Structure 1
Amino acid sequence: MKRVLLLILLAMAILPGKVHSQAGTVTYSGQIHNSGGDAIDYATVVLLQGDRQIAGGTTDDAGNFALKADKGDYTLIIQCIGYETERKQLRLSAPTRETFILQPAAYALKEVVVQAREIERKADRFIVNISPTSGKDGTELLSQAPGVWLSDDQISINGASGTKVFVNNREIKLTGEELLSYLRSLKSEDIRQIEVIPVAGAEYDASTRGGVIRIALRRRQDNGVQGNILMGTAVASSLNRYMPSASLNARIGKWSINAAASGIFTPKDKSDMNSIRSYTTDDTRFSSLSRFENRSNYGTGRLGITWDADTLNSFGAEIEYIGQGAKANSYSRTELVKGNFPVNSMGEYFQRNEYNTFTATANYLHKLDNQGSLIKLIVDYAGKKSTGNNDYFVLRQAMGGQSDTTYRSNADATYDIVTSDLSLSRYLKKGMSLKAGIKYTFTDMNDNSCYEGLSGHLWEPNPAYGYVLNYRENIIGGYGSFSAGTGRWSFVAGLRGEYTRTSNRNDNIRRDYFDLFPNLNVSYAFNSLKTSMLVGQYSRNIERPAFHSLSPNHIQLSDYSYQIGNPYLKPTYINRFNLTWVYQYRYTVTVGGNLHHNLIREFCKQDANDPDISYITPENHSTENHWFIAVNLPFQPVRWCNLTANFIGVKQDIRMSESAALAKHYLMFANATATFYLPAGYNMEIQYGGASRLYSGNSEVAPRHTLGFTLRKKFMNERLLVTAGVNNIFNRYNNYVNNLDAYKTESHYKEGSAGRIFKVSLSWSFNSGKKVAKKTIERSSESEFNRLKEK
């Protein structure tokens, strides 16, 4: 460790001398376009002396580049996927500008994978430059990005949960299939660049624990209208789901307008759960069957406007509405036998929930130069109102007769979040940059629920189940980060400070705390072209409890089980560190650890009033450490087949309390995607996902392996994309185990949306005038907004 610190200090000491060695430098610039006269953006341009890279960069949207180097002799190399490589010997003695015409490569139409030369590794991230001729959608491109995992319901980096996705600096709040559908609507001709950031820097909220994926869209200033309409459906014996969406982007003079709407309509979603308990006493038996029938409607609409006042100043505003309504009816039948005394119970539960969310944001951007330096001011508001009306009926039959219980609950919750964010990004000489900012977030939550039981003909309140929760949170954060590079070394170092004040006025719980969250990324390249690198990263993060976890709302799951929140939860602190070896830009092996303190996990417990009733509630682990190795292997055995495989092995150390014994588990995760490019423009994918037995709290999830198949074809001059496929071909479901002192519960859950599903979608893209840039309005309150999401 001392040696690493010495090298970092030595690099920082050498850096100033390198920065000010400007004598004799000249600028070599130019423009690159194809034989048709169209500019080629994000072509790679480098100057070499021998095998040592002296300068390098990529072209902008207009195909322009500019490099600075000392006077002398160089080899110029220009590369871009789909085009032949350009090489030229030149002598620099004065500022020079040239124009280059790249010729299409003979294999351009058959190319199916982002080439290694299009991937660059920096100290804190991978940068993947996308060719508009690759013919892929957003999910295909992401699946080939180093370390990115795509499954049916989430996107992650090296398997870590909590990864955030940004498009043009705006976090996409969609999740699951909705997020993947949105990314599929993006085409390679729309995407300019993908950045994969395994460890988020100090400029991101300290709660960004799973890394960041940033997608930059191509930006053009031509007037015109561009849009996309998508209709998808998912069908199974127990599931009917429809997923329409549409987007419209327009450029009119200095104005950019973007609008989008999407929905998920599920008229049928049926599930079954069978549970069996094994008691420590031999004279007790328990079995239950629960059936669930859910119907839900989800819709969102968004409208954003950007005004470019001049080349330096831009103003933007956006509003968004999200609404969801759900009806969940469930039926359960349970048999409990103690000795020779059987108790049979039947329950019916009717739950009606809905929520409405409105968000508004405004921002101001001021450019300081043409290298990306700018000042940003962002102000956000998010408001959410949710209601729940539930009716329960339970009938119990025993040898002495029968009894029934009827009760109902009404829940009401409102959330208001206000955020303001001021930041500065300043690009300095020789690749150095400085970022700084300050952010304030205020959250107000009012949550209450009333439970009533039917006694005769009167409804009487049940104060043991009812509650009122008034919660406020103030967070003030400030950060600074610095990045630089010298020779084969590069580094990014940052520090974020956050002061948090929370108050739960009903339970008289108040917390005031200040935390520092350092971040450090250091990389060393073993050669001048950086085809082999070693990267070290460290960060400290926080995970604050989701709002639904704090709410002590009693949600009945069956006759003998329920779920309830925990207002006494503490935030989780995470120390993350890893060391990554990068070969040929995209083959990676990463070893590291994620050390958690007060990790929030769900626990299964016995009800104090009736030990035969269990409930699920979140609690804090004392410590939980994950030591892992992750391998990313993308390769192309033949021109028409592309394979991407990811493997992760984890050693999980859990200490539930300070005095508890240490429990150790070994976990394995794997996913793989094989893409076949067939004649007549057909595209076929086979996806595999697998996980070993998982452990959380005192619960376990059984191993599960799934296989999926997808076929795609474009029609109408590639404007219409037709997709058909099957998820979970072999119909594998989830199995769970809860371990209590008195008994162990084994449950087999046949969830409608998790079994074998047939999917079909149609996506139509239209364009009037020249293709326009989709300018989005950057938000600041996304991490807080995510805590509003329903479980």
Structure 2
Amino acid sequence: MKSKLMLKFMIMVFPFITLTLENLTAQIQHRYRIVDEHGNSIESAIVRIFEMPDSTLVQTLVTDTSGVVNLELLVGLKYWVAFSRIGFKNTSLFIDGAVQKPQDVILIYDDSHLLAEVEVFANRPLVRKTADRVIVDIGRSPLAQGRNGYESLSLLPGVIVSTDDDIRIGAKSGARVMIGNRLLRLSGEELRNYLQALRAEDISSIEVIARPPASFDAEGSGGIIKINMRRNTNSGYNGTVSTNFSHGRYSRFSGAATSSVRTEKLEAQASLNIPHSVNYRQTDIGRSQWNSSERFESSSFYRSGNAAFNYRMGLNFYPGKNHTLGLEASGSFLNEKVKAMSADGTFASSGTVDSIMRYSNFPDTREKGLFDLGLNYRWDVDSAGGALELLGNHYSSKSERTTYYSSNFYDTQGSMLRSILRYSDLGTNMDISTIQGDFSKNIVQFVTLRTGAKFSRVGTRGDNCYKNFDGEGEWQPDSILSNGLSYSEKVYAGYASATLTMASTEIQAGLRVERTDMKTRSLGDNQEFGNLYTNFFPSVFLKQEITERQYISVNYTRRILRPPYQALNPYRILVNENTMSEGNPYLRPQLSHNFAFSYSPDPDFEITLSYDSQTDVFGDTELGSSLKTIVTTGNIAEAKDATLDIFWSKDFTQWWTSMNNLSGTYNRFRNDYFDRHAKFLFATTNNTFSVSPVFTFQFNGRLFTKGVDRYYTILMNSWVFDVGTMVRLMDRRLVMTMGVNDIFHRDGNRRLSMDNGTFQSITHSKWDTRRAYIGLTWQFRNDYRAVRGIKRSNQEEVNRTWN
């Protein structure tokens, strides 16, 4: 109810703010003349303006016949301005919007990249490498169009999404996902469902951070994948209207609109996204138990159709030159219809059929609503980068899933033995509140101090109600399966880090301390489980420049991966009559030590050798016989990974940029029952061809070799190719994209075997990854300034919510 009232209020207020502030922009004009090395004016040079610090493109201009260009820049912002012209080397400047410095910009003549009968237009690379992360500008990628947020992860260099929905950076499992500065506490199927509700067109960029520093939450033993959502980056009055259609086995459609307005003191923005999609997954499983001659086989088909309504609204107020106050509200309503069918058979040692079960459900309904409110205050203490930030967030969600399903059992002659009709109502409520403060200051020359504290409180309650049909027209409660769970968690965290920068040396050291107090209570028998622990997470980073173009770096971090909330539920949840899931309230957090050494002989080439040691690794284990499967989560093993990463980028011409990553991993995965060694190779290539100011073509390829991966054996190579184009028409206001993802349908077609010391199984899964798409976006605007977003403090807590 609160979220609906907030939505109605923002919808009523926003148009009045827009109309009032439309023409009140404040700006200063900067004049530049572009000349060659002999002082001759250069006509028709391309000038592109990016707002710092996120390098958002806000305007593209062309010099006049005198080589002059006038930039209208907003007071209080800093910009990176890039200058380019066919036949000249590119150059760039950093500009303060409040400081006027008219000057000549010199371009040096260079004919090495000229092409006959082709106009060259340079774009900022879609993939960029910095000292501690890889940044992919998903929002500008033609290949991202038609994908959802989950599918966009496959476009990231070095990122692997396994068949069990585990997201990895290289060989390291347990990578966490952030939306902005908020960590999502989701995993497995729940994380996949959450990200599938996002449109790739609404994502600005994704950052892959293998070894986050102390200023990040310590959650995520496998590193952090940070998703930065797109905002309307123009001030004055601006907006977009877009639509997208794609088709694979099933069709998907989405429509979206954004609007923003900005003045010297205030900015407002709003966005609305309505996606509709249909997804499927087909799975065949063969399983046998080590001490049994019986064999179990299952074939299942899962189809879901969902429609969502997502909104986001925000206000930023600038009361003074160095102060920013931000308020943002966002929410989502999701309705999903699911149809599932399966056929399970058991076989004796002779190969004859013992029994068959056929399972199907009436299309069940899943509904979820969430509301997120964030408040942000920032004070820029000085011009050297000192700042104080205070953040507060409250997140609440409610989900409910109702299902009617039947299971029929047959003997070897095909005669029905019995039939079971069940009803389930599964509901979950969750509230997450966080408060966070960060302070940074250049305390002495060359030394920057950063410190902060955070408190988070999580409360969740789940109620699972099961009923059985007695055959006489009555539904009887199932006291064995019906259960409930109440979970609470408090995390107190603080950190401090210092950065020393002198000439060619940079040293960063930090320490984060987190104290966790968690309690789980079973509502069925009022049984309680608790855990209280304190962890220290040091981080050290050293970078030494050898020459202007060469450097070496050494990095160490310690990380934690807390169990998802639902994995702590000690009761069983029915999948079908042969398969159930069960939580484990005694799960311990997964801890890791990460070491890395990097050498870069050139800014476009880097080699990294890393070693990761993980203890109490989470993993699924199976209980019971091969005929009845109960899947639970346990701390099953320790893992050690050694990885060699090679990152290479190359501008073959001014219109062809290629980014490539090659990873080779050796892994050891062991416990008291097995000791397995893994070797596999993962490679990606991202190629962008910008042959004109209005036409861009992109080609991506990925390879993941077959071999042993922990207790899985990958039985087939996975090689994936994507192609896409982007065309800008009507003075670049109309953007059209089209292409095909996973041309040969290899990403969504995987076979693997598993041997965990108790069971052996072979699984073959297929899902909808080969899709053709087309999208249209219309941009309307009357100015070109960049809009800032606000930080969030509760990203980590939301990531573990499984619902």
Interval of TM-score (by shorter of Structure 1 and Structure 2) = 0.7 to 0.9
Q: Are the counterparts in 1 of residues 314 and 328 from structure 2 also a CA contact under 8 Å?
A: yes
Aligned residues: 700
Counterpart secondary structure, 2:84: coil
Confirm or deny that 1:99 pairs with 2:103: yes
- C-alpha deviation, 1:250, in angstroms: 1.3
Q: Which amino acid aligns with 2:324?
A: S
**Alignment partner, residue 332 of structure 1:** 342
1:232 paired residue among 233, 244, 256: 244
**Alignment partner, residue 314 of structure 2:** 304
- C-alpha deviation, 1:310, in angstroms: 1.1
**Alignment partner, residue 456 of structure 1:** 471
- C-alpha deviation, 1:745, in angstroms: 2.7
Q: Are the counterparts in 2 of residues 33 and 39 from structure 1 also a CA contact under 8 Å?
A: no
Q: Are the counterparts in 2 of residues 442 and 473 from structure 1 also a CA contact under 8 Å?
A: yes
**Alignment partner, residue 652 of structure 1:** 667
- C-alpha deviation, 1:555, in angstroms: 4.6
Q: Select between 533-542 and 506-515 the one with higher mean Cα deviation.
A: 506-515
**Alignment partner, residue 68 of structure 2:** none
- C-alpha deviation, 1:591, in angstroms: 0.5
Confirm or deny that 1:560 pairs with 2:578: yes
**Alignment partner, residue 257 of structure 1:** 268
Alpha carbons of structure 1 residues 170 and 304: separation in structure 2 relative to 1, 3 Å: farther
**Alignment partner, residue 347 of structure 1:** 359
- C-alpha deviation, 1:417, in angstroms: 0.7
Partner Cα separation in structure 2 for residue 214 and residue 434 of structure 1: 26
**Alignment partner, residue 473 of structure 1:** 489
- C-alpha deviation, 1:549, in angstroms: 2.6
Q: Are the counterparts in 1 of residues 581 and 632 from structure 2 also a CA contact under 8 Å?
A: yes
Counterpart secondary structure, 1:464: coil
Q: Are the counterparts in 2 of residues 79 and 85 from structure 1 also a CA contact under 8 Å?
A: no
2:510 paired residue among 491, 494, 501: 494
- C-alpha deviation, 1:352, in angstroms: 2.4
**Alignment partner, residue 510 of structure 1:** 530
**Alignment partner, residue 617 of structure 1:** 632
Partner Cα separation in structure 2 for residue 297 and residue 215 of structure 1: 23
Counterpart secondary structure, 1:309: strand
1:577 paired residue among 595, 601, 612: 595
- C-alpha deviation, 1:233, in angstroms: 2.1
**Alignment partner, residue 23 of structure 2:** none
- C-alpha deviation, 1:343, in angstroms: 1.4
- C-alpha deviation, 1:379, in angstroms: 1.2
Confirm or deny that 1:271 pairs with 2:281: yes
Pairwise mapping of residues 268-417 of structure 1 onto structure 2 (< 5 A)? 268-277=278-287, 284-338=294-348, 342-350=354-362, 351-398=364-411, 402-417=417-432
Alpha carbons of structure 1 residues 557 and 758: separation in structure 2 relative to 1, 3 Å: farther
Partner Cα separation in structure 2 for residue 765 and residue 693 of structure 1: 45
Deviations 1:355-403 (A, max 9, x none): 1111111122222112331111111101111112122211112268611
1:591 paired residue among 603, 609, 627: 609
**Alignment partner, residue 10 of structure 1:** none
Alpha carbons of structure 1 residues 217 and 315: separation in structure 2 relative to 1, 3 Å: same
- C-alpha deviation, 1:696, in angstroms: 6.4
Q: Are the counterparts in 1 of residues 554 and 597 from structure 2 also a CA contact under 8 Å?
A: yes
Partner Cα separation in structure 2 for residue 501 and residue 330 of structure 1: 39
Q: Are the counterparts in 2 of residues 148 and 155 from structure 1 also a CA contact under 8 Å?
A: no
Q: Are the counterparts in 2 of residues 157 and 163 from structure 1 also a CA contact under 8 Å?
A: no
**Alignment partner, residue 211 of structure 2:** 199
Partner Cα separation in structure 2 for residue 182 and residue 672 of structure 1: 21
Counterpart secondary structure, 1:110: coil
Partner Cα separation in structure 2 for residue 538 and residue 378 of structure 1: 28
Structure 1: segments with no counterpart, 5+ residues: 1-30, 45-58, 67-77, 88-95
Partner Cα separation in structure 2 for residue 112 and residue 308 of structure 1: 35
Partner Cα separation in structure 2 for residue 355 and residue 260 of structure 1: 20
Alpha carbons of structure 1 residues 82 and 391: separation in structure 2 relative to 1, 3 Å: same
Partner Cα separation in structure 2 for residue 712 and residue 38 of structure 1: 21
1:435 paired residue among 444, 450, 454: 450
Q: Are the counterparts in 2 of residues 225 and 771 from structure 1 also a CA contact under 8 Å?
A: no
Alpha carbons of structure 1 residues 228 and 170: separation in structure 2 relative to 1, 3 Å: farther
Partner Cα separation in structure 2 for residue 550 and residue 574 of structure 1: 21
**Alignment partner, residue 200 of structure 2:** 181
Pairwise mapping of residues 114-129 of structure 1 onto structure 2 (< 5 A)? 114=124, 124=132
Q: Which amino acid aligns with 1:324?
A: L
Q: RMSD of the TM alignment (CA)?
A: 4.2
Partner Cα separation in structure 2 for residue 219 and residue 415 of structure 1: 30
Partner Cα separation in structure 1 for residue 756 and residue 445 of structure 2: 61
Partner Cα separation in structure 1 for residue 76 and residue 264 of structure 2: 23
Q: Are the counterparts in 2 of residues 82 and 105 from structure 1 also a CA contact under 8 Å?
A: no
Partner Cα separation in structure 1 for residue 293 and residue 168 of structure 2: 47
Alpha carbons of structure 1 residues 151 and 598: separation in structure 2 relative to 1, 3 Å: closer
Partner Cα separation in structure 1 for residue 593 and residue 733 of structure 2: 46
- C-alpha deviation, 1:125, in angstroms: 5.7
Alpha carbons of structure 1 residues 631 and 462: separation in structure 2 relative to 1, 3 Å: same
Deviations 1:263-322 (A, max 9, x none): 3312x4343323334566897454433222211123321111111111122211111112
Confirm or deny that 1:734 pairs with 2:734: no
Q: Are the counterparts in 2 of residues 207 and 543 from structure 1 also a CA contact under 8 Å?
A: yes
**Alignment partner, residue 84 of structure 2:** 82
Higher relative contact order (CA 8 A, sep 6+): 2
Pairwise mapping of residues 524-539 of structure 1 onto structure 2 (< 5 A)? 524-527=544-547, 529=548, 531-539=549-557
TM-score, normalised by the number of residues in structure 2: 0.77
